[in-house]
């Protein structure tokens, strides 16, 4: 069995070439908190067209819109505590169902009410995103987010990009300061 691939910030992994036939994937996100803290992190997905904008508001997937209009992306639910082992939030993706107009899928993690509660990513430890094959349950790649963006309250963890009908995942780790999820909504809407 293949070992999972450990990504670094900026790394690109060609899913189509490295995992031929892969269609159903799951992004699992996990984190722990520094002692004495509890944060509510939320994963959101922006499905973008050629101009780098949402192809429709129905392609913004988050805790209040858990499924994309084409059915290709599904948020599995909001974990408000992050407690317990394993993935804290997950996003299912079926690459075979993605609308043809979508050429980029951006995955963002934000901290709910971060400014009001004075929370930021510096209060996390053991944070990661991993991608695995839904059918075989095999982990394909993992991106360790520790010690990245300590002052930010929302970050683009990674993105899926379709180039010449091939899907690639790129580890991003880009924050937007104290603009939070709203800042990314403004960028992509």
pTM, rounded to two decimals: 0.93
Each residue's pLDDT tens digit, 97-156 = 999 999 999 999 999 999 999 999 999 888 899 999 999 999 999 998 866 788 999 999
Each residue's pLDDT tens digit, 168-180 = 999 999 999 889 9
Task: Give the domain 5-188 fold.
Answer: Lipoxygenase-1 (2.60.60)
d(CA 59, CA 48): 8
């Amino acid at each position: 069995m293949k070992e999972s691939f450990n990504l670094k910030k900026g790394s690109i992994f060609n899913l189509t070439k490295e995992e031929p036939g892969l269609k159903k994937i799951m992004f699992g996100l996990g984190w722990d908190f520094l002692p004495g803290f509890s944060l509510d992190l939320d994963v959101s997905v922006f499905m973008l067209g050629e101009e780098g904008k949402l192809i429709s508001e129905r392609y913004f997937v988050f805790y209040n819109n858990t499924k994309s209009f084409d059915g290709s992306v599904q948020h599995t639910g909001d974990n408000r505590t992050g407690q317990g082992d394993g993935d804290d939030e997950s996003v299912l993706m079926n690459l075979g169902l993605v609308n043809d107009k979508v050429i980029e899928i951006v995955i963002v993690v934000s901290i709910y009410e971060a400014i009001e509660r004075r929370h930021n990513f510096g209060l996390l430890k053991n944070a990661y995103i991993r991608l695995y094959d839904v059918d075989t349950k095999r982990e394909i790649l993992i991106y360790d987010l520790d010690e990245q963006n300590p002052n930010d309250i929302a970050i683009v963890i990674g993105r899926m990009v379709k180039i010449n009908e091939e899907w690639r995942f790129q580890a991003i780790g880009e924050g937007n300061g104290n603009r939070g999820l709203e800042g990314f909504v403004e960028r992509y809407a």
